[in-house]
Amino acid sequence: MLNKYAFWAILVLALTVLGVTFLVRETLCELSFKERDVEVKAVLAYEMKK
């Protein structure tokens, strides 16, 4: 039962991160969430074409 709730919690978190990333993709450089002892960090690294 707990595994079922953990799966849904992770799924909702992943979809939220994807949604936020989609909304701010033009200005996104770094995105991080920190709660207690868990930290999720996404960093965008790219080179601009000339």
**What does the pLDDT look like over 6-45, one tens digit per residue?**
899 999 999 998 888 787 766 667 778 888 888 888 887 7
The pTM score is: 0.49
pLDDT at site 42: 81
14-45 in b/e burial notation, b at 16+ Cβ within 10 A? eeeeeeeeeeeeeeeeeeeeeeeeeeeeeeee
> 2 pLDDT exceeds 90?
no
Query: Per-residue pLDDT for 48 more than 70?
Result: no
